[in-house]
Structure 1
Amino acid sequence: MDKRSLLLRIKLCPGIGLKGEYLAYCWLETQDINTLDIEEVQAMIINLLRDNHLNYKKFAVSFLSREINILVNQAMNQNWITICDNIYPTQLKEMYLPPIVLFYAGNLKLLEANNLLGVVGSRKCSKYAVQAMKKIFSQQVVDSFVIVSGLAEGVDTLGHQIALAKQGKTIAVLGTGLDCFYPRSNEGIQLELMKDNLVVSEYFYGTGPRKHHFVERNRIIAGLSQKLLVVEARLKSGSLITASLALQNNRDILAVPGNVNSSYSAGSNELIAAGCQPCLDEKDVLGRVVI
């Protein structure tokens, strides 16, 4: 029994949640697990969940079940890293409730880059957002940053597409398993990113889209990125949630100003009013004068 496989089992087990997973990881960090058998680990994690007033009954039933044993065996043959691995990004480990396991396809070395630019925005983005992104994402910006986004419709997809078109590097963070395509129209670009770029998810194969997964996905985008660019966002949108999480992680936030009469720009304009840096062109992203 080793710590990596235990973290994988915990991740695959239902009924524990992100907070429970992280508490279990913190507890494992203090233990010499070579002195424990798996039943003892199960009992101690159940006590940990109970002591922190978290649900534990489904976890208790599932942890050593035949179904989870099968999932663990299947996952062992896939590509995955844990929060204990050296390649796991430091900035992600320092965020609130970091993922204890990430499944991936593609070039894992991209996680070691120190110039990750998160890009978020509306799924039903306006023509203005498209024009703004084409202006901001110059060749120099694409050469200088690895673009991180969520492969959703609209701004996310355009960010990945611009990076690919300019021979840059990009990371997609999914809210589904790696074998799911959401939206379905992004199957082609997702498969392309899995070759020479990187696609990551904390959800195992076969996991379809669920509303709360996309909120959880946003925290990973915020945690990975050194800078976050909000291109277009409605009030109370997922993009604003990502920006809030990034601020909590002391990341630099930039926002593209928009029409004050447009609901699509209400969120990004609100960020600027609250003190975030307006992003007008490539110089704002690069943080220096472009000659």
Structure 2
Amino acid sequence: MASLRNRIIHLNRCRGITRRTIMYMLTIDPRLSTIYNLSLSQLTSRFAIPPNNARPLHHDLHDLTLQKEIIRDLNSYTILTVVDESYPAVLKTIKDPPLVIYTRGDVSILRHTPALSIIGTRSPSKHALTKMNLVLPKLIQEDWVIISGMAKGIDSYAHQFALRFNGKTIAILGGGFEHIYPRQNVALFDRITKEGLVLSEYPPNKPPARFHFPERNRIISGLSFGTLVIEAKERSGTLITVDQALDQGREVYAVPDSPTVPESIGCNRMIQDGAKLVISPEDIMEDWSRGKENWINQW
């Protein structure tokens, strides 16, 4: 792994190490030039890595099979690391930014503004598409990038709206490109790779795991000017993304509905707690007009 970026990609795929530890290593050894020469005990003492973690890490640092996998992926995908100029500036300032991003599709979309993340329940009500049709078409026609997680329900609808209106869309996955989830979205994945962008912080051969989905939510909100919740039940995983967005200083929007609709109780609660009520695209576009200059100058 000759270059710094390749070493970061390699370390990020090793067992026994966290993103936080890799960032710490970079402060001690900015080129990561010595880590491959360290013994097991030196890894433990220098970076405070427990022996049970240091052993698999030391093995993976010198595993030729793993290195061959990485070389294959470097030749197959566009891979961005946190030290690359092309890495999205908006992600560098969030808490625990992804160190490595695997991409398929048009990477230039990452530089396009404004971007809005669309999230919501995997089991939407019969009114969900009508709500989205009130807000999304004009935003897409005004060249907003639509970002979501390619899950069932609202996420899939969001990407489909963007594609239908010839807009730009980014899908952030909870697993690697060789393990598309849900399987029913394989065709959607293929289309987004051709007409938009798909990205994941997980290597292509990494299957999705339950904890990946809340983890990837920080990227969905982090790439966006704001997050719009279409529908969410009172106790919903969607609210994790909302918390991430608030923590990152992003705008949060919600579509209201009758209190008798279970799929919208979460949205109504969010509005009570200060999220901006959205019933038209102008509700979001006005905020962008006011905040555009600050957003652009910030990055």
TM-score normalized by structure 1?
0.90
CA shift at 1:236, angstroms? 3.3
TM-score normalized by structure 2?
0.87
Q: Is 1:60–2:70 an aligned residue pair?
A: no
| One-letter amino acid of the structure 1 residue matched with residue 10 of structure 2 | R
2:217 is matched with which residue? 218
CA shift at 1:233, angstroms? 1.1
Q: Which moved more, 1:134-143 or 1:97-106?
A: 134-143
Q: Which moved more, 1:48-57 or 1:150-159?
A: 48-57
The one-character-per-residue Cα deviations of 1:170-204 (angstroms, maximum 9, x if unpaired) are 00000111122211111111111111310000111
Any unmatched runs of 5+ in structure 2?
290-299
1:74 is matched with which residue? 72
Where 1:193 maps in the other structure, the secondary structure is: helix
2:8 is matched with which residue? 7
Residues 160-171 of structure 1 mapped to structure 2, 5 A cutoff: 160-171=159-170
Kept in 2, the 8 Å contact 1:139–1:166? The answer is no
Q: Which moved more, 1:54-63 or 1:274-283?
A: 54-63
2:271 is matched with which residue? 272
1:118 is matched with which residue? 117
The one-character-per-residue Cα deviations of 1:52-97 (angstroms, maximum 9, x if unpaired) are 9995443333332234223222222232110111111111111111
Where 2:38 maps in the other structure, the secondary structure is: helix
1:178 is matched with which residue? 177
1:283 is matched with which residue? 282
Inter-partner Cα distance in structure 1 for 2:51 and 2:277: 42
| One-letter amino acid of the structure 2 residue matched with residue 147 of structure 1 | I
2:22 is matched with which residue? 24
The one-character-per-residue Cα deviations of 1:211-235 (angstroms, maximum 9, x if unpaired) are 1111111111011111110111123
Kept in 2, the 8 Å contact 1:81–1:101? The answer is yes
Question: Cα distance 1:7–1:128, how it changes in 2: closer, same or farther (>3 A)?
Answer: same
Cα root mean square deviation, aligned? 2.5
Where 2:10 maps in the other structure, the secondary structure is: helix
Where 1:236 maps in the other structure, the secondary structure is: coil
Q: Is 1:93–2:73 an aligned residue pair?
A: no
Question: Cα distance 1:244–1:52, how it changes in 2: closer, same or farther (>3 A)?
Answer: farther
Inter-partner Cα distance in structure 2 for 1:199 and 1:220: 12
Inter-partner Cα distance in structure 2 for 1:138 and 1:145: 10
Q: Which moved more, 1:3-12 or 1:57-66?
A: 57-66
Give the paired residue count: 287
Inter-partner Cα distance in structure 1 for 2:270 and 2:148: 19
Kept in 2, the 8 Å contact 1:141–1:286? The answer is no
Q: Which moved more, 1:189-198 or 1:22-31?
A: 22-31
Kept in 2, the 8 Å contact 1:22–1:100? The answer is no
Any unmatched runs of 5+ in structure 1?
none
| One-letter amino acid of the structure 1 residue matched with residue 31 of structure 2 | I
